[in-house]
Amino acid sequence: MADANPAELEVLYRISVGVHRVVRDARSSPHRADVVAMGADGTPTEELDRLAEGEILRLLDAEGVDWDLLSEEIGHVARGGDRTLVVDPIDGSHNALRNLPFFTVSLALGRKDLAGIDLGLIRDLHHGTTWWATRGGGAFCDGRPIRTRSWNSKTETVFVNLGRNASERAVKVAGRARRVRSLGSASQEILMVAQGSADGFLFENEPEGRNLRSTDIAAAYRILREAGGSMSDARGASLDGFPLGLDRRTSVFAWGDPAFRTQWETWG
């Protein structure tokens, strides 16, 4: 039984709109600094991330909800609730800083681990497109239902995170797939699988500390599952029990059609 309800979805939507407004205004300011502090996970906190996170905290108070907060920048904030809002204030902040139109705010509400996420909402902070899903309630993009697609080798499209930290497996998969794309925003790339624009997404860096946290994937996990897809780590182990926190990272393989997962296993 899901704990999410329409009112909670509306709260997340209003938070995403507020973040969109703050980020839009900040990106147009000539006085924006790039790096201002270190995040709770030890990585640099861009000014845009800080502003987005501040707006989320402000709106949680304004909405009168008691959810705890877990954000990649500030860490865990206890607010008296029995559920946690798992947040990536800006997924793809380097894209945002370089005027590349691939960055989002990612919001997920749930308990304990990825399987405990009841509601996920992601907003494209460039175009304003919004995806969401509730447990057992389907997945949507701007109000239209979305589904994963059946795999066809002739039209195969795979998102792979590449670069100097990419694993040998990631490079190998990129060399085997018919078409390869990389956006630099894990949430958006998983959403492309959820809505049937792509067949799969692989993120595997070396060392493990270069991989993804629950804040990066919590909302996308719920949307992908409700759209008919699934997610594991790069070795095939389920991520359902992956904890909501900042102290662990994981590789990610997301797929829409189990037939594509079978194909991918022959590559890896």
Report for 36-50, 57-71, 89-103: range of highest mean pLDDT: 57-71
Residue in 177, 190, 250 with CA at minimum distance from that of residue 221:
190
Question: Does pLDDT of 36 surpass 50?
Answer: no
| Long-range contact set of residues 168-173: C-beta below 8 Å, sequence gap at least 24 | 169/202, 169/204, 169/234, 169/268, 170/202, 170/203, 170/204, 170/205, 170/234, 172/267, 172/268, 173/202, 173/264, 173/267, 173/268
pLDDT score for 46 = 66
pLDDT score for 4 = 62
The domain 6-145 having CATH identifier 3.40.50.2000: the answer here is: no
For the chain, what percent of residues have pLDDT higher than 70? Answer: 91
Mean pLDDT of the chain: 90
| Mode of pairing for the β-strands spanning 84-91 and 230-232 | unpaired
Question: Does pLDDT of 105 surpass 80?
Answer: yes
Question: Does pLDDT of 251 surpass 70?
Answer: yes
- Mind listing the pLDDT tens digit for each residue in 1-10? 345 688 999 9
- Mind listing the pLDDT tens digit for each residue in 189-205? 999 999 999 999 999 99
In Å, what is the CA distance from 65 to each residue of 8, 12, 121, 176, 215? 9, 11, 17, 47, 20
Every domain of the chain and the residues it spans: 6-145, 153-267
d(CA 260, CA 178): 12
pLDDT score for 230 = 97
- Mind listing the pLDDT tens digit for each residue in 133-185? 999 999 999 999 999 999 999 999 999 999 999 999 999 999 999 999 999 99
Q: Which structure tokens are listed for 203? A: 């993120």
Question: Does pLDDT of 115 surpass 60?
Answer: yes
In Å, what is the CA distance from 173 to each residue of 62, 87, 200? 46, 30, 11
In the chain, at which residue ranges do the beta strands (DSSP E only) sit? 35-38, 44-46, 68-71, 75-77, 84-91, 104-110, 117-124, 130-134, 139-141, 144-145, 158-160, 180-181, 200-203, 230-232, 252-255
Residue 148: partners with Cβ closer than 8 Å, 6 or more residues away: 193, 194, 195, 196, 224, 227, 228, 229, 255, 256, 257
- Please, is 233 exposed, middle or buried when counting C-beta atoms within 10 Å of its C-beta (0-12, 13-18, 19+)? middle
Q: Write out the CATH class of domain 153-267.
A: alpha beta
